[in-house]
Amino acid sequence: MSKLWGGRFARETDVLVHEFNASLPFDRRLVAEDIRGSMAWARALVGTEVLTAAEAETIVAGLAQVQVEFENGTFVFDEGDEDIHTAVERRLTEMMGEVGGKLHTGRSRNDQVATDFRLWVMGAIDHLQDSLTDLQNALTESAAANLNLPMPGYTHLQHAQPVTWGHWILSHFWPLVRDRERLAQVRERTAVLPLGSGALAGTAYPVDREWLARELGFTAALSTNEVAVSQNSLDAVSDRDFAADFLYAAAMIGLHLSRLAEQLVLFSSAEFGFVRLDDGYSTGSSLMPQKKNPDTLELTRGKAGRLVGHLTGLLTTLKGLPSSYDKDLQEDKEPVFDAFDTLRLTLPIMAGLIRTLTLRPERMAAQLEPGLLATDLADYLVKRGVPFRQAHHLVGRVVQVAEQKGVNLTELAVAELQTVSGVFGEDVTAVFHIAASLSNRNVTGGTSVEALASQLAAARLAVAREP
Ligand code: ARG
């Protein structure tokens, strides 16, 4: 097996060590970025007089050919290829001869891999942003369709106060706004060019790093289109903050999807029955013919664990490393690739599941019991001058009276309410309506018709806005 670095070695690498050392099985995913980076590097070398313009263009054309071989599946790996960088360069040199061998001048795989990986993560973020936007649209569509449909709201998973379907489903929309902001921030921090850092000490050839940054799209702040170039070569070849940032953003997305999934598992159970999952998004049991299982949601919940694991795994890998490159850093790619693959599937599946969900308003209505209005009863007393603490206590007593009689709060006669407090009057029955409770909460973020309409409008605006 011939190695690109084989000059000083008298004996071949042990077979198992080769396998252990190689990253090709997973980093072949960086091929497009590797070729893009190399094309830019070849052109940057023209300014340093290492390559003539004609030589650089020959190399660029050769790299384009290598790209074609990858695209049509004719690229043949050599058993000595240890990673995608060596594979591409080896093939280029095979095709071009001596001029191909000039490409790696002034460059190291250390600044090369950092560049390729950053480019890949930037592309992955763009993809996830689109999927998140689509899921956000699915959520606002569902909210719009049943914005004011009343349902019980919960704290501690116990009946608390009335809310609406629109209100509830949008509670899972806003976390995704934060996820998109977070990803946009990660993208900015990722778009800083390490190329030109060499192995650790900077390249000895006077390449124009600003030109390289612009050429490769390392414009940290997309809005200002300002190029960003790493300022310390030792840091640049070992900085994997962007990968950890990406994994944190991915773990947060996973966590948000998991919470939505968990609540839908509950809501689709026989006991709640608020929603019915579409057949396309649920699965059956091999034994029990009647079963329709929310596997899709359970997997979504389960995969959050895997995403959190990737983050803790990478942080642990990074924590003891000195500055500059160490081979531990090769462990950065698999968790990032897997986090992306996980979300690439989970996000559109969740969007489809939401779009095909059937609501069961009658099951929600059946749970809208008067106990949900106890706070409104206390508010009634407050409006008549009773301090809230006392009102809370008095309504607690009303609840007790109702429980002793075995009736609902709303079934007590006004005279019975008056045994607890003389402040209760005939008009108290106006409180006993779910709609009244909803419309009383007429603040931004509340449940009134107007508040929900403006929340939905704000949500639509947030989707349309670039994070
Ligand atoms: N495959 C390596 C990685 O992913 C490329 C960098 C190798 N650098 C080195 N000094 N051996 O990290």
Catalytic residue among 285, 286, 448, 454: 285
* Cβ-contact 122, 191 below 8 angstroms: yes
Catalytic residue among 18, 108, 156, 197: 156
58 CB-contact burial (10 Å; exposed 0-12 / middle 13-18 / buried 19+): middle
Instruction: List the residue whose alpha carbon is closest to atom 4 of ligand 1.
Output: 330
Distance between Cα 92 and ligand 1 center (Å):
19
Ranges of the chain whose pLDDT falls below 50: none
Domain boundaries defined on the chain:
6-105, 110-365, 369-464
91 lines ligand 1 (CB under 6 A): no
In Å, what is the CA distance from 467 to each residue of 127, 172, 222, 344, 463? 14, 17, 11, 19, 9
Q: State which ligand 1 atom lies nearest to the alpha carbon of 109.
A: 6
pLDDT score for 288: 80
Among candidates 400, 447, 450, which has minimal Cα distance to 420? Answer: 400
* 108, 113, 117, best to mutate for ligand 1 pocket (most atoms within 8 Å of CB): 113
86 lines ligand 1 (CB under 6 A): no
* 84, 104, 110, best to mutate for ligand 1 pocket (most atoms within 8 Å of CB): 110
Q: Is 156 a residue of the active site?
A: yes
Distance between Cα 217 and ligand 1 center (Å):
23
Query: What's the sign of the alpha-carbon dihedral 16, 22, 23, 26?
Result: negative
Distance CA 266, CA 297 (A): 10
* 200, 233, 330, 337, best to mutate for ligand 1 pocket (most atoms within 8 Å of CB): 330
**Helices and strands, counts by H and E, the chain:** 19, 4
Distance CA 428, CA 62 (A): 84
CATH of domain 110-365: 1.20.200.10
Distance CA 141, CA 135 (A): 10
Distance between Cα 292 and ligand 1 center (Å):
48
Instruction: List the residue whose alpha carbon is closest to atom 7 of ligand 1.
Output: 109
H/E run at residue 430: none
Give start and end residues of each alpha helix (H) in 171-285: 174-190, 209-216, 233-238, 241-267
How does the average pLDDT of the chain come out, rounded? 95
Distance CA 77, CA 407 (A): 78
Q: DSSP secondary-structure letter at 10?
A: S
Helix axes 109-145, 241-267, angle to 10 degrees: 30
Q: Please state, for a pLDDT cut of 70, what percent of the chain lies above it.
A: 98
Distant-in-sequence, close-in-space partners of 392: CB < 8 Å, separation ≥ 6: 378
Q: Is 256 a residue of the active site?
A: no
Q: DSSP secondary-structure letter at 465?
A: S
For the record, the structure tokens of 22 come out as 């190689």
Question: Which pLDDT tens digit goes with each residue over 168-182?
Answer: 999 999 999 999 999
- The CATH T-level fold of domain 369-464 is Ribonucleotide Reductase Protein R1; domain 1 (1.10.40)
Beta bridge partners of 283: 293
Second CATH level (architecture) for the domain 6-105: Orthogonal Bundle (1.10)
Q: State which ligand 1 atom lies nearest to the alpha carbon of 117.
A: 4
109 lines ligand 1 (CB under 6 A): yes
Measured in degrees and rounded to the nearest 5, phi and psi for residue 194 equal -90, -20
Cα-atom radius of gyration of the chain, to the nearest Å? 31
Instruction: List the residue whose alpha carbon is closest to atom 12 of ligand 1.
Output: 330
DSSP string, 342-405: HHHHHHHHHHHHHHTPEE-HHHHHHT--GGGGHHHHHHHHHHTT--HHHHHHHHHHHHHHHHHH
Instruction: List the residue whose alpha carbon is closest to atom 11 of ligand 1.
Output: 327
Q: DSSP secondary-structure letter at 357?
A: P
pTM of the model: 0.94
Distance between Cα 7 and ligand 1 center (Å):
18
Give all strands (DSSP E) within 338-463, no chain letters.
358-359
Q: State which ligand 1 atom lies nearest to the alpha carbon of 82.
A: 1
115 lines ligand 1 (CB under 6 A): no
Distance CA 79, CA 81 (A): 6
